[in-house]
Structures are given as structure tokens and as C-alpha cells.
């Protein structure tokens, strides 16, 4: 098919996402090759995937580095984290729910948001206060 890439790989197992499996598998078969002297029979998976243009530059993401942090960095992290955590509105009703089998969607949503808020508080405090890895290590 024009604009598509078709190729084959030989292996004894494959792991695919549901999306790739449902959208791109052209055929699956067991190879009965007389030249194969090993025990396992090989599987052949034929995929048809649309051509993609990949960014050839390696992806690099600078991250906060605890190894480079001084006690001053850590003190600033603690101060920012404390500030960020105090900004979070507690989902009191959901936190006080004692139903171990609770299926209240609002409790579930509030607890999910609470976890996300705590995570964001930690990450943003770290991003703003700690030195970073690699190319951006001049921060902090
Ligand atoms: Zn509940």
C-alpha cells in the first residue's frame, strides 16, 4: 500500500499495545523452516504501519538532582513544598469516608485530584529549588 511500511521480524514472542495489535497486524504465523535446528518454532508477525517521521535528536529532559543539592537547596525545597502543600484544599468529606467499599464517584475524583495536587506540590517545589541534571545544571 503506498505510504505504508511493511516489514517482517522473527522472534518467539511479541508484545504489542492493543492499539498496534488492532490496527497494524497483517498476519501472524508459525514458521516451519527446515533449516531451523533449534527447538522453538519461530513466530512471524507481519505489521503494516503508516510511515512516521521520528525526531532523530535524542530527547533530553533536565531533572532536579538531589545529588547536587546543598543544604541551602534542601531548605528552599522544604520551604516551597510547605507553601505548596498549604495551598491544597483538603477533600475533607472523601478523606473522612469510612466506607471501605466506597464507590462514590465524587470521593474517588476528589482523592485522585488530592494525590495529583500532592505530587505537583513536590515536583514544582523541586523544579524551583533544586539544581538540575545535565545541560541545565547551571540552575540553582
Ligand atoms: Zn466514600
How far apart CA 31 and CA 111 sit, in angstroms, is 51
E-strand ranges in 32-113 read 42-50
What is the Å distance from ligand 1's center to 101 Cα? Answer: 8
Distances (CA, A) of 57 to 14, 50, 61, 132, 138: 27, 21, 12, 21, 22
pLDDT value at residue 29? 83
User: What mean pLDDT is predicted for residues 43-70?
Assistant: 81
Q: How far does residue 96's CA lie from ligand 1's centre (Å)?
A: 8
Residues facing 4 on adjacent strands: 50
- Find the 77 Cα to ligand 1 centroid distance in Å: 33
| Beta bridge partners of residue 15, listed in sequence order | none
Residue 31 pLDDT greater than 80, yes or no: no
DSSP 138: T
Look at residue 9 in the predicted model and tell me its pLDDT.
55
Residue 51 has pLDDT above 90, yes or no: no
Residue, of 103 and 4, whose pLDDT is higher: 103
What does the alpha-carbon distance between residue 36 and residue 69 come to, in Å, rounded to a whole number?
56
pLDDT of residue 136: 44
Distance (Å, whole) CA 60 – CA 38: 41
Q: Which of 52, 34, 50 is nearest to 42 (CA)?
A: 34
Q: Give residue-wise pLDDT tens across range 64-74.
A: 999 999 999 99
Does 105 have pLDDT greater than 50?
yes
Looking at residues 60-67, what average pLDDT do you find?
A: 89
Contact (Cβ atoms closer than 8 angstroms) between residue 26 and residue 6: yes
- 121 vs 3, 75, 101, 117, CA distance in Å? 45, 15, 29, 6
Residue 103 Cα to ligand 1 middle (Å) = 6
**Between 18 and 135, the higher pLDDT residue:** 18
Amino acid at each position: 500500500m503506498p505510504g505504508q511500511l511493511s516489514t517482517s521480524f522473527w522472534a518467539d514472542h511479541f508484545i504489542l499495545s492493543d492499539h498496534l495489535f488492532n490496527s497494524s497486524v497483517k498476519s501472524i504465523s508459525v514458521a516451519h523452516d527446515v533449516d531451523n535446528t533449534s527447538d522453538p518454532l519461530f513466530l512471524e508477525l507481519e505489521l503494516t504501519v503508516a510511515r512516521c517521521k521520528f525526531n532523530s535528536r535524542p530527547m533530553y529532559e533536565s531533572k532536579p538532582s538531589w545529588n547536587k543539592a546543598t543544604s541551602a537547596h534542601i531548605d528552599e525545597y522544604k520551604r516551597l513544598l510547605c507553601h505548596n502543600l498549604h495551598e491544597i484544599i483538603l477533600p475533607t468529606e472523601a478523606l473522612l469516608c469510612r466506607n471501605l467499599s466506597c464507590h462514590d464517584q465524587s470521593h474517588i475524583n476528589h482523592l485522585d485530584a488530592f494525590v495529583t495536587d500532592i505530587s505537583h506540590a513536590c515536583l514544582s517545589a523541586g523544579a524551583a529549588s533544586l539544581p538540575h541534571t545535565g545541560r541545565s545544571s547551571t540552575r540553582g
